[in-house]
Amino acid sequence: MKKVVKFGGSSLASAEQFKKVGSIIRKEESRRYVIPSAPGKRTPDDTKVTDMLYSCYGQAILGEDAERDFEEQLEAIKERYNSIIRGLNLDLSLDEEFKTIRTNFSKKIGRDYAASRGEYLNGIIMAAYLGYEFIDAAEVIVFDENGNFDGDKTHKILSERLENTERAVIPGFYGAKPDGSIQTFSRGGSDITGSIVAKAVHADMYENWTDVSGFLIADPRIIKNPKPIDVITYRELRELSYMGATVLHEDAIFPVRKEGIPINIRNTNAPEDKGTLIVEDTCRKPRFTITGIAGKKDFASITIEKAMMNSEVGFCRKVLEVFENNNISIEHMPSGIDTMTIFVHRDEFEEKEQDVIAGIHRAVEPDFLELESDLALIAVVGRGMRATRGTSGRIFAALAHANVNVKMIDQGSSELNIIIGVRSHDFDAAINAIYDIFVKTMI
């Protein structure tokens, strides 16, 4: 058995949290490759080290005028790490590392370098604490000269490096370009690093440890004590992540999915919880018809009507070209015989609204065009819907009972998800109604 384990910032925010992580890793010999994030918040009012580094680098860019603030902030970052080292009773000094950081900050080497030092330094501490080999991610995670991740080169280099490495700590979040300059993934990118390492070592499991016990069926800020999700497929997770579920970085799915490696989302503060298992497919019957509910606000819709639309060759293409020419991405596009509605992000659309409307009129000469803003989209996702009749009907009934007007409903051909459009002010009520009918009434 071979596992890759990634620990998030809240799991490594202090020496106390480090000790929890150490106990988890030592409990199973199979936890051989460790991916640490930078230290997160110790308390709600605390500051993440990554944010401290960004701020410190900002002072460095200002030069001599901000030299005092720069030194104070760098010293505060150093103390965060030294407090962890003291708490773990390690014979370790980061003085030379901080000298290098100070020099590189003064050279204005780049924001990506600045941000990556959080994971880099935490990786050094973690390796010393566990007695594992430390491997700088800049040596094994490859980006091209344009800053795009190079999966093939990374896999080759990383596989060769780890082939004879029994146990290692590899910092998350960053890698390097061909010229050696540091390049980071987007926020939460340590999840991606863990997935890349899991693929490289052909892991049996990728454990992602955070401060929650896996995914919940719905947002706990909307639903009181929502039920946890025990098992979810990659396709279901992709649908929920796209609509706002944020426990795992959505790009972390792809490297392990191709290899059939499951992901287990676990809670560092409650290691006895089994968490959520993410798999390619499962014959296990789900407890509920739906697996999860997620959604986003701040959408706008453009409804276009024209007689004989369905007979006009290229009608949809002409409309879509208008949005493409204005660099606006389309979220959903339900249609009828003589009508089509396009949902877009409101912030993308508002500044180009007049250009889009004029473009549509020129392109297809519609009989009627209507705009609506302040809309929300909700995704109801679940493999159990395929084998259950009347799911859409139950959703409509639940929303009607809650006095929620449905602006749009769109079901994918896979029967894995149903997208519902509602007014933003009905968003919470809609999610509550759907949760109640599919989960609460079944408990």
**Binding site: which residues?**
6-9, 50, 119, 210-211, 221
Measure Cα distances from 68 to 47, 58, 73, 114, 383 in Å: 20, 13, 9, 18, 57
Residues 52 and 73: their CA atoms lie apart, in Å, by 7
Query: With contact defined as beta carbons under 8 Å apart, do 385 and 418 qualify?
Result: yes
Helix (H) or strand (E) holding 205: strand 205-210
Which positions ≥6 away from 358 have C-beta within 8 Å?
none
Structure tokens at 233: 């497929």
- The per-residue DSSP string of 321-355 comes to HHHHHTT--EEE--B-SSEEEEEEEHHHHHTTHHH
Query: With contact defined as beta carbons under 8 Å apart, do 303 and 372 qualify?
Result: yes
Measure Cα distances from 400 to 118, 158, 433 in Å: 50, 54, 9
SS3 120: helix
Q: Which residues are annotated as a binding site for ATP?
A: 6-9, 210-211, 221
Q: Which residues are annotated as a binding site for substrate?
A: 50, 119
Helix (H) or strand (E) holding 409: strand 408-411
Which positions ≥6 away from 368 have C-beta within 8 Å?
303, 304, 305, 306
Residues 326 and 128: their CA atoms lie apart, in Å, by 52
Specify the DSSP class assigned to residue 109: -
Query: With contact defined as beta carbons under 8 Å apart, do 414 and 364 qualify?
Result: no
Which positions ≥6 away from 350 have C-beta within 8 Å?
300, 373
| Gyration radius of the chain over CA positions | 25
